[in-house]
Chain A
Amino acid sequence: MIRLSNISKTFRAHTVLDNLSLDIASDDRVALIGSNGAGKTTLIRCLMGQYVHEGLAEIDGISPRHERTKVLSDIGFVPQLPPPLKMPVFELIHFSAGVCNASPDHMIELTERMGLDYSEVKTKPFNRLSGGQKQKILVAIALGRETKLLILDEPTANLDPTARQILFELLSERIDRPILISSHRLEEVSSLVNRVIEMDRGRIVLDDRVSDMVDGAALQKSTLVLTRPNDAFAKAIGEWNFTSDATELQWKGEVAAPDRLRFLGTLSRYAGVLASVQIEAVQEVQKGKRQ
């Protein structure tokens, strides 16, 4: 679906993307991670036809640079930094809906679902809203129209926990469609993705396809040891059907291999109480026992 071939981008002798090649299939849900300056946003801009670059960028065989309206009409985008638009919110929504041939009503409905009182903000200048309010509106615009690919550049940066949760609910409703999420926090987006691409200084340093690495039907046995009992952890791990001993310090259970990333994402929230984590393939364990 997406093909980036030998992409290089240089700003005044500073190479931001360095001969990068990447293929993203139509069933890939990609987390793009990396430190600041790794080249994530530049990669996204090249992908959306906003930058001139060396190499080839195509989405389903179409160049986003040369046929941008065709390509962009099927891409929902949320930028890392909300633009400082002075126009009122209703004007932004109606303009976006107008150029996307979409209905503003659905976008408005989504702003409400994200926890924003549309009637209160609709006449306010967009740049006067709080960071979270701006982000909710941009998310609503991106998700409130028919798109085939979502590109989200740090979409949760300004969102409160509730709005973040709603965003993930909205994204999980369209889990059958490809998504590219740039984020600093892998644990946060882990439940939504099946592929992790890490960038560093303009290159891809890790490309972890969860589905390739594990058998979809396989189970992984996990043993977790806590430093002290913790109610929140007990509730969260209970949802994974883990059981504990009487001390509630040791928890055991099995995780479906494709859920491994999401499971690790859950664990990362409780790093402070985790003493040890063991994960091993069930088949391997059974083979070991037979020997």
Chain B
Amino acid sequence: MNTMRLDFKGSQRQADETGLSANDLLLTARLDVAESLRAKWFLLYSLVFGGIITSLFIFGLADSRIMGFTGLSRMLVTYIQLSMAILPIFVLITTVRSLAGDREAGVFEYMLSLPVSLKAWYWGRFIGRFAVVFIPVFAAMLLGSLYGVLKGADLPWREFALYTGMLVSLAICFLGIGFLISSMTRATDIAQGAAFFIWLLLLLFLDLILLGLMIQEQAPTGLVVIIALLNPLQAFRAGAMMIFDPQLIMLGPSAYIILDNLGYAGYLAWALFYPALLGLVLGTLGYLIFRRGDLP
């Protein structure tokens, strides 16, 4: 038998599983962005957010005065509340559809036969997907605001920056949930069902629905507060309210609990960072599950 030995040490590669190749990360992110830009859901997604902004201007919301909010402040408040309703479900469904769908269809078998590290593949897709879901929402808000400025309105920069930060945080949060679901499930149908269920569950525990009912039924205050704090949708919603309503008058008696326990700055920081942190933790959990199991 021939005793020739081929040096099989991956001579062309510098990165291995212990490291993360920036090149592979960027290539994978770019691939995911390109895939998303070709997908019909992205067109719909962009049209929805573009449509919301356009509608707000058409219906004169930027010029209206309601509860003391005028001009672009009013428009931004409305836009951010609508974003909270639309962005999470869009992110969840499209993420699990494409990831679980790719795995189910055999895309992973081929793409992961190439020497790209699992870390670069997973987080590259995460970054690419973040860009794709965040940019249309942000771009619509930015273009709407610039249009308002051109029309002579004052742009509330602080609110604009805080809303941007909260949208980043919300997008990361639901991407993390979507990636975790995709790692845990092998069938697209199950992944979509799980994503929808989680979204409904989070909606259910918003202040207007179950939390309101719990308060009415005199559930322990601590429990209600903990649920409210842990629900990223609630954190976002109350945080977004707090930006234009520092006393949280619109939230009712719950506002006292929030402000007494965390204070204005504390809760704002929570609303800004908690969803993103939760998304990153869940995304990391998804990565660990993805790395541990069968890849295709």
A interface with B by C-beta (< 8 Å): 1, 25-27, 45, 48-52, 59-60, 62, 66-75, 77, 79, 81-87, 91, 95-96, 98-102, 125, 138, 146, 148-149, 177-178, 211
Contact = CB atoms under 8 A, between A and B. Distances in A.
Interface residues of B, number: 42
A49 B114 CA distance: 11
Majority DSSP secondary structure for residues of A touching B:
loop
Given A69-B16, A91-B31, A83 B107 contact: yes
B6 A60 contact: yes
A100 B114 contact: yes
Contacts of A149: 6, 8
Contacts of A59: 8
B143 interface: no
Interface of B: 1-2, 4-13, 15-17, 21, 23-24, 27, 31, 34-35, 38-39, 105-107, 109-118, 292-296
Given A67-B16, A84-B107, A99 B113 contact: no
Q: Which of B21, B109, B111 has the most CB of A within 10 A?
A: B109
B111 A83 contact: yes
Contact of A60 (B8, B27, B109, B294): B8
Given A72-B114, A81-B106, A96-B114, A62 B8 contact: yes
Contact of B13 (A26, A51, A84, A101): A101
B34 A87 contact: yes
Nearest to A142: B113
Given A79-B106, A95-B31, A72 B9 contact: no
Contacts of B7: 60, 148
Contact of B106 (A74, A83, A211): A83
Given A60-B9, A83-B110, 19 more contacts: A26-B5, A50-B112, A50-B295, A52-B293, A59-B8, A62-B10, A67-B17, A68-B118, A72-B113, A74-B10, A75-B113, A77-B113, A79-B106, A81-B106, A98-B23, A99-B23, A99-B24, A99-B116, A100-B114
B2 A51 contact: no
A70 B9 contact: yes
